[in-house]
Each structure stands twice: as structure tokens, then as C-alpha cells.
Structure 1
Amino acid sequence: MKTYSIDFRQKILDTYHAEPISQKAIAKRFSVALSFVQKLLKQYRETKNIAPRTDRCGAKGKLNAEQLLILAELIEENNDATLEELRYLLYGKIGFSVSRATIGRMNKTLRHNFQKKTLFPSGKGTERVQILRCEFWETIKNISFKDLIFIDESGVNLAMVRLYARALKGERAKGQRPTKRGKNVSIIGAMSVNEILTSVNLIGGTDAITFEAFIIRKLVPKLWKGACVVMDNCSIHMGEEVKKAIEKKGAKLIYLSPYSPDFSPIENLWSKLKIILRSRKTTNYQELGKAIEFAFEQVTSENIFNWFTHCCYCTSSF
């Protein structure tokens, strides 16, 4: 209700009592809303007072503080539940039902928003894996980050395009991509804190023989005494010849703990490359090869150093 002066309110009340006039006519005469006249007269009948109310502070919340805390716990335990499912779960806890819209508003009050999940393997949270992750850091913490070399593989294909675009509100954002993605192109790369040491692209997957050839022909010539090669423990990396070739050069080999891609800065390299490749819209393997070469050229020394910092191998600024 709009706040009008007491004098103005009194004039409306006096007119209502002095003249045989309807509430609608009073509203028209004084150029106010009919609802204002109705509320004013009701207020006078109930309280004998026409002063503006000062106790209005918005609608009372459907849930009190304790019930809101219960809802927060339910969201924490069932973070992928729909609003309707949360509504049902809350009913079982507090004994009365609230609307789905109320659940939505309370989600915002609790600062929860619905977003895409960041998924991780269920085994990552086991005690065994956590112990192995700690043991990895105990092994590597005394090695200078300047001697670390990370190796990994990634796959790309011809159907890689940007998946997000702009469109007018209410319309779909559309785009084209090749109907046939073709065979995957595997990229094997080795990265130190200073540079991309070496990389190779090949059509198809990477097997143990291919990986062994990459180590012996591409990586070993770039190694130095005291270098430490770090790679994940997938089966194609476990060949005896791989270890022998690295150690023969005076370097050593350490395997990442299971479920630990977050310990490998080269994962950030693949993310950057794929972002660039999605923007190139390649249609054949020759174009894709050139796009991969272009993407590697966009990687800066600062990028690499920041990736090492992100994975906690160094802390100083670039």
C-alpha cells in the first residue's frame, strides 16, 4: 500500500461516514486504488487507527531457520535431486508440504545453483588411493621442478567443434559438424617446465610398441642426467624397455598415483590444444595436422609455468 498522509486518510474516512457513497466512488474521487480504500477501512474497523502501518517487513518465510537448515542438509546429501524430489524429502522431515517454487527460492537463499557435475572415478576417494597419492608426493617433493618431464597421450578427431554459441533468447544456437568423425588422431607429448620437449601425431590409438618407439626415438635424445620422467601407470607405459631407455640416459622414471590426472600439468596442455582445435573447424587429416601444429605454437612459456604452479610443483610467479 502506498503511504499517504494521515490528513488525506482522514478525509477519505470522513467522506465514507458522511456521504452515502460506495468505496469504488470514493477511490475514483480521491484518485486512489480501490484496494487502498478497502484496506484503510478494514484497518480502521479492526484497530480504530488510520496511521500508516510500520510493521510490514515482507511476506513471512515458509520455512524457519531450523527447517532451512534441514533443507540445506538434504541438498548436501542429494545434490542431484530435482526440486520435486527435494520437496518430497523435506516433507518427510518437517511434516508439511511446501511448493516447488518455494524450494527453488530457498535454494537461492542457501546460495545453491544447479550446474554440470564434475565427475571423478568412484575409486579415487578410497583410502588406498589417498595413501598412494600421498606417497607420490613424498617421492617427488625433493626433486627440482626444473628436472620434471611429464608425458601423456590425448586423442582428437575431425568432428571437434565448439559446443556453445550465442542465439536470440528463446531460439536454439545451431552449428554444423562433420557427419563422420573419422579415426581418432593420437597425440603423444612430453613437457618440461621450460618447453614442449617433443610430440608426435598418429592416426589411430596408441599401443605399447608405438609408445616405446616414441620414448626411444623422440624423448631419450632430449633427456639429461638427473631428469625425472613422470607418466601415468596405464599398461602401455609399463614396458621394461621404456624404463631401461630412460635410466640409460641418467634419468629416472616415476609413475603417477592412480586416479591422479590433477597431478599432471600436461593435462592443462591438452585442454588448451582442444579449445584451439575446436575453433579451427578442420575437415580432413591434413588440415587437422596443421591445426595441431598451430595449437602447439600458441603455447607460451608462461602457460607452461602456470600449469606447473597450478599442480603445486612450483609456487613463485613467472
Structure 2
Amino acid sequence: MTKPYSMDLRERAMARLEAGETSYEVAATLKVAVSSVIKWAARKRRLGSVAPGKMGGHRPYRISGGHRAFVLSEVERDSHVTLHQLTAALAVRGLHVHPASVGRFLHREHKSFKKTILPAEQLRPKLARRRAQWIRYQTRIDPTRLVFLDETWVKTNMAPLRGWGARGERLVAHAPYGHWKTMTFIAALRHDRVEAPWVLNGPINGEAFRLYVETQLIKTLKPGDIVVLDNLGSHKGAAVRDIVRAAGARLFFLPPYSPDLNPIEQLFAKLKHFMRRAARRSAEAVHNAIAATLNAVTPLECRNYIENAGYKST
């Protein structure tokens, strides 16, 4: 931080102003900025002195001590509490701050406003036990043997959810409301790649899924693979299990209501984000956009998806 100009220089500048010189003349003579002369004059009129104010130094945070403990306890009690509610609660305690100050305080305390929604059914005792058992064995399996399989929908009316616009004005976009096509995208996620991508016109059913396994997935399976699926009814055909077993692989179903245990859901979230940005309006264009997205998926990304879901050999 630079040092303030000396008092001698400031007083000489004020003396010249009082003698009738203009701020520009004083600045030119003393070789300082015109703005400095103007600010010194204003400071003298306001405070009666041109002495510089305090520079630098630590400004103590207003939300500290008991107020800090109070805010943290409120956040712990109700994770959905808003900045305005916290501001109002602090005002009742006698501390008046701006909501932005509360937000900065929470960031300093390593808090961020976020939430992941999981099915409430996971809290059922029976299902909770099944999930705990699954999670207990997650790290005992070689991730290179795992093949995570699932499907998701893609549509020809997908569009970006948000965009930049002028404050106070609506940002309007257009997407088909009356007619569009819905397709089902199926794929398998391994530790280093995405395999057997397939797009089906319309929803999935048991026969379509069997056809996918028989014509697409089977080409990628090898002895020792472990195929992991969710509990969708169309996945549970006996023919599907027979096809997988014939390839020397094994088939396991996730506990019900457990999308968080299937890492391919993270890939699908990325896919839908890019599909909204692409905003394709024909089936062929949707297919091409899916292919472009999958081509950009790296082995490291696949590994991160799987490890983030808890499948990491220890």
C-alpha cells in the first residue's frame, strides 16, 4: 500500500488555494493529481484538517462472538433458512447487518447454499438396511469389473433452462409445446469409457430392453464383468439374466430408490445439460448431439463418476 502525501505538501496546497489559485494550478505547481487537491480541500471543509485518515488495518467482523454462534446454530437447526431470515433474527438480537454480510460470513465459515434431493423411501428401515449392506461391499469390488447400466429420456423440445437478460425484464425463449418426440437413451458406464450406447424411439419396456442386451450390451461383456442395474421392472426379465450369464458376467440389482448408487446418473445429468444447450429439433439431430457429447467423455471423467458414487477399491 502506498504512503499518503506528507502534511507539508497538503498544507502548501491548501495555502495556495486560499491565496486564490485554482485546483489545476496548484496541482501543476506541486506535481500532484488534480483530484488529490480537490479531495484535500473537501476534507478540510468537512473535518477542518487535511491530515490523512487511517489506512489499512483489520476491520473486525460484525458477526462474531455470540452472534457467530447464534447464526451457526440457526443454520444447523434449519438448513433451509434464508439470508433474509437470518438478518431479521440478528436484528432482533440488536445487530443490524445487510443480508450480503450474512452471506459473506457463511462463506467464511465454509458454508454454501446447496441441496441434493434423495428419495424419502431411503429412510425406511428395511431399505436402509439393504443400502447399508450394499455400501459396505462397494469398496471390496474391483471397479474395472463393474458395468453400470441404465436409461434416460431425451426429447426434441429440450431447451436451456436459463439465460442472461436485462434486469427487470423477462427473458423469453421458445420450444415446442404441442408436438415433440421422446426417445430413450441406454448406455453402459465402465471405469474408463461409455459402451453400448443405443437410442430407442419411445419408452423402454421389457422386450426392448432384452433386445438391447442381446444385440448391443452382449458385444461388450467379458467373463468376470458385474452388470449393475436399478430395479425397473423391464430390467428383470429372465431372458436378460440368461444372456448376461451366457457371456460369463453376473447381474446385480441396486437397492430400490437408490439412484445415488448408480454413477451413470451423473453422466446422464451431464448429457441432459448439453442436450438442453444443443436444443435439437429432429431425431437425427438429437442422435448426433448425443454422439458428440459421448465423444467428449474422458476415461478420467468415467472414473470420477464411479468413485464419486462410492465404488473405489481400497
1:188-267, aligned counterparts within 5 Å? Answer: 188-267=186-265
Give 1:74 shift.
1.0
Alignment-derived partner of residue 36 in structure 1: 47
Deviation readout 1:222-243 (Å, 9 max, x if unpaired): 3222211101123322333322
User: TM-score normalized by structure 2?
Assistant: 0.70
Give 1:153 shift.
0.5
d(CA) in 2 for partners of 1:52, 1:273: 58
Is the contact between residue 220 and residue 245 of structure 1 (CA under 8 Å) also seen in structure 2?
yes
Alignment-derived partner of residue 307 in structure 1: 305
Q: Which amino acid aligns with 1:195?
A: R
Among candidates 100, 103, 107, match of residue 107 of structure 1: 103
d(CA) in 1 for partners of 2:286, 2:229: 26
d(CA) in 1 for partners of 2:288, 2:277: 13
d(CA) in 2 for partners of 1:301, 1:114: 30
Q: What is the RMSD computed on CA atoms of the aligned residues?
A: 4.1
Deviates more, 1:174-183 or 1:233-242: 174-183
Is the contact between residue 142 and residue 313 of structure 2 (CA under 8 Å) also seen in structure 1?
no
d(CA) in 2 for partners of 1:68, 1:195: 47
Deviation readout 1:111-134 (Å, 9 max, x if unpaired): 277745432223335655443233
d(CA) in 2 for partners of 1:257, 1:52: 69
Structure 1: tracts of 5 or more residues without a match:
10-29, 41-50
d(CA) in 2 for partners of 1:139, 1:114: 31
Corresponding residue SS for 1:111? helix
Alignment-derived partner of residue 69 in structure 1: 69
Among candidates 115, 122, 137, match of residue 124 of structure 1: 122
Q: Which amino acid aligns with 2:295?
A: E
Is the contact between residue 262 and residue 311 of structure 1 (CA under 8 Å) also seen in structure 2?
yes
Is the contact between residue 159 and residue 180 of structure 1 (CA under 8 Å) also seen in structure 2?
no
Among candidates 275, 278, 283, match of residue 277 of structure 1: 275
d(CA) in 2 for partners of 1:280, 1:104: 35
Structure 2: tracts of 5 or more residues without a match:
12-39
Is the contact between residue 62 and residue 102 of structure 1 (CA under 8 Å) also seen in structure 2?
no
Alignment-derived partner of residue 30 in structure 2: none
Alignment-derived partner of residue 37 in structure 2: none
User: RCO (CA 8 Å, sep 6+): is it higher in 1 or 2?
Assistant: 2
d(CA) in 2 for partners of 1:252, 1:122: 30
d(CA) in 2 for partners of 1:200, 1:272: 17
User: TM-score normalized by structure 1?
Assistant: 0.69
Overall identity of the aligned pairs, in %: 23
d(CA) in 2 for partners of 1:131, 1:166: 46
Q: Which amino acid aligns with 1:108?
A: R
Give 1:154 shift.
0.8
d(CA) in 1 for partners of 2:162, 2:201: 27
Give 1:202 shift.
1.5
Q: Which amino acid aligns with 1:278?
A: R
Corresponding residue SS for 1:233? coil
Alignment-derived partner of residue 86 in structure 1: 86
For residues 77 and 128 of structure 1, do their structure 2 counterparts lie closer, same or farther at Cα, with a shift above 3 Å needed?
farther
Alignment-derived partner of residue 151 in structure 2: 153
Is the contact between residue 138 and residue 312 of structure 2 (CA under 8 Å) also seen in structure 1?
no
For residues 142 and 36 of structure 1, do their structure 2 counterparts lie closer, same or farther at Cα, with a shift above 3 Å needed?
closer
The structure whose Rg is larger is: 1
Corresponding residue SS for 2:107? coil
Give 1:60 shift.
8.4
Q: Which amino acid aligns with 1:36?
A: L
Is the contact between residue 189 and residue 199 of structure 1 (CA under 8 Å) also seen in structure 2?
yes
